[in-house]
């Protein structure tokens, strides 16, 4: 296993960042943060309460109403966003090291996420400069145009899986649009989020435009969602939390964007390129330690190739390198937190009663401490099984056979979620027909999740509400105001004119 790697220069404490200053909670409350390899506390973080959120929202509101940010030309905002991207890129190795230490993600994958975070800022810098709005003409009579303006203070609530990248995904379009923000990162993984303050300040973002409050969802997150001066909430996380936020947004009719859980199917037909399908479906569920909303965690395989697929898949799964997240050879690291480890292990035990265990099923040998789960493969899983229906969010996969296209579609759609789907076939007609019939916000044909940042990202059913990505993100953070200009004489019915002057 080797020595546990602890990065140098870790902070002595993690604070909030409000109005351009690092501050503790007004109450002095803190919480402990663990690293997932030793499960020891390595730092304490300020635990935000309602009064801390009030301060952050007030700072963001002031920066929105009195500060320069919302009124800057798009090019001026884009310059700041590009400087942010440059800074993230310049320290990508340090970012990856901290992210790996805090989350347990393998270092090579954390590095890719840091680079993706830089790209998110660059992409929205380009988009905001290129943004065009609609004009509608009625020749000789009217011209109507759309005036787009930032909505105000955006509340951003982000999860603990790939935290830095997912924060960038909300921060970049919110800032590009001219909004000011309050970010509430996940309490399990506050380390990389604490770097934003310095990055933004150095890039020239005015004080108060970005504010960060650490803490628990039930305290800091709840206060942010309910705050009357926060008209928008963008949330990525688990579905039941999303439902609670939805209820709490109802009172003041807030704008919401929600990317929730998933139990995405990967459907492998007999005519698929089997080598590519095996590579991709292994990566699709075991990358990022299986802690990914778009994981292809249910693999549906056509009967003719089912036995061969299961045998080859399980053999590969048994050889996946599990170990120290900081070792570049590691393919699966440690799960984020002991609580999450217990949850995933409870599903592994349940799976042993619901399917046939082909690989994994417990802690890998030689790794006696840390939140390590061996990549686990269950075959012959019936669609009624809980491991087929429920999101596990770890390195655990369920494989189920099918006999016909219709059965495959029925199995694919037979869960409450609808985030992603992956389809493997060499039949063009089947590929498109099946893709269009599957209940998923995003479908990949003959690949895993390889994303174009211009495309809509979001799910159907219990997987979310609304879309982000490309112009849809800009739409979310801005109000589109229709302005109507009359060019000719407007004929108006003259109410009250006929009876004028009569007694």
Catalytic residues: 259
Q: How crowded is residue 72: how many other Cβ atoms within 10 Å of its Cβ?
A: 15
Question: Token pair of 471, please?
Answer: 């112009």
DSSP letter assigned to residue 152: S
Question: Token pair of 229, please?
Answer: 């001066």
Extended beta strands in 61-196, E state: 135-138, 142-150, 153-157, 180-184
| Phi and psi angles of residue 180, each rounded to the nearest 5 degrees, phi first | -105, 160
Using alpha carbons only, what angle is made at residue 181 by residues 482 and 224, rounded to the nearest 5 degrees? 105
Burial 260-269 (b: 16+ CB within 10 A, else e): bbbbbbbbbb
How far is Cα 375 from Cα 368, in angstroms, rounded to an integer? 16
CB 187 within 8 A of CB 215: yes
CB 486 within 8 A of CB 278: no
Collect contacts of 484-492 with beta carbons under 8 A, ≥24 apart: 484/142, 484/144, 485/142, 485/143, 485/144, 485/145, 486/141, 486/142, 487/140, 487/141, 487/142, 487/143, 488/140, 488/141, 488/142
């Amino acid at each position: 296993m080797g020595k546990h790697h602890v990065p140098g220069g870790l902070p002595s404490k993690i604070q909030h960042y409000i109005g351009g200053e690092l501050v503790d909670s007004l109450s002095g409350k803190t919480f402990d943060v663990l690293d997932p390899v030793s499960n020891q506390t390595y730092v304490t973080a300020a635990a935000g309460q309602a009064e801390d959120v009030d301060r952050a929202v007030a700072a963001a509101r002031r920066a929105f109403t009195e500060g320069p940010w919302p009124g800057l030309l798009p090019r001026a905002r884009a310059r700041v966003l590009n400087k942010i991207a440059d800074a993230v890129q310049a320290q990508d190795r340090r970012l990856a090291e901290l992210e790996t230490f805090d989350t347990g993600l393998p270092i090579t994958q954390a590095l890719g996420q840091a680079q993706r975070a830089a790209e998110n800022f660059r992409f929205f810098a380009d988009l905001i400069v290129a943004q065009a709005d609609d004009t509608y003409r009625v020749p000789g009579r009217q011209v109507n145009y759309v005036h787009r303006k930032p909505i105000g203070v955006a509340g951003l609530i982000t999860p603990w899986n790939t935290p830095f990248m997912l924060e960038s995904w909300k921060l970049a379009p919110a800032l590009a649009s001219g909004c000011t923000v309050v970010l509430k990162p996940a309490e399990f993984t506050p380390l990389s989020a604490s770097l934003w303050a310095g990055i933004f300040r150095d890039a020239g973002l005015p004080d108060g435009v970005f504010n960060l409050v650490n803490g628990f969802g039930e305290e800091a997150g709840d206060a942010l969602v309910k705050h009357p001066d926060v008209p928008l909430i963008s949330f990525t996380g688990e579905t039941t939390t999303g439902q609670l936020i939805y209820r709490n947004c109802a009172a003041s009719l807030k704008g919401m964007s929600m990317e929730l859980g998933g139990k995405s199917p990967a459907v492998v037909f007999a005519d698929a390129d089997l080598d590519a399908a095996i590579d991709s479906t292994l990566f699709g569920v075991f990358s990022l330690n299986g802690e990914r909303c778009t994981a292809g965690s249910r693999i549906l395989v056509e009967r003719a190739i089912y036995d061969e697929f299961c045998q080859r898949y399980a053999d590969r799964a048994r050889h996946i390198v599990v170990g120290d997240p900081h070792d570049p050879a590691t393919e699966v690291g440690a799960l984020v937190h002991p609580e999450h480890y217990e949850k995933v292990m409870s599903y592994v035990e349940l799976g042993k009663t619901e399917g046939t265990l082909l690989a994994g099923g417990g802690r890998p040998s030689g790794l006696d401490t840390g939140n390590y789960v061996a990549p686990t493969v269950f075959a012959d899983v019936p669609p009624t099984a809980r491991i087929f229906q429920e999101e596990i969010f770890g390195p655990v996969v369920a494989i189920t056979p099918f006999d016909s296209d219709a059965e495959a579609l029925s199995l694919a759609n037979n869960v409450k979620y609808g985030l992603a789907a992956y389809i493997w076939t060499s039949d063009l007609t089947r590929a498109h027909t099946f893709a269009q019939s599957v209940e998923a916000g995003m479908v990949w044909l003959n690949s895993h999740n390889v994303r174009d940042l211009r495309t809509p990202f979001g799910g159907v059913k219990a997987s979310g509400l609304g879309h982000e990505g490309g112009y849809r993100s800009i739409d979310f953070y801005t109000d589109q105001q229709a302005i109507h200009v009359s060019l000719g004489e407007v004929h108006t019915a003259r109410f009250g004119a006929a009876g004028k002057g009569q007694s």
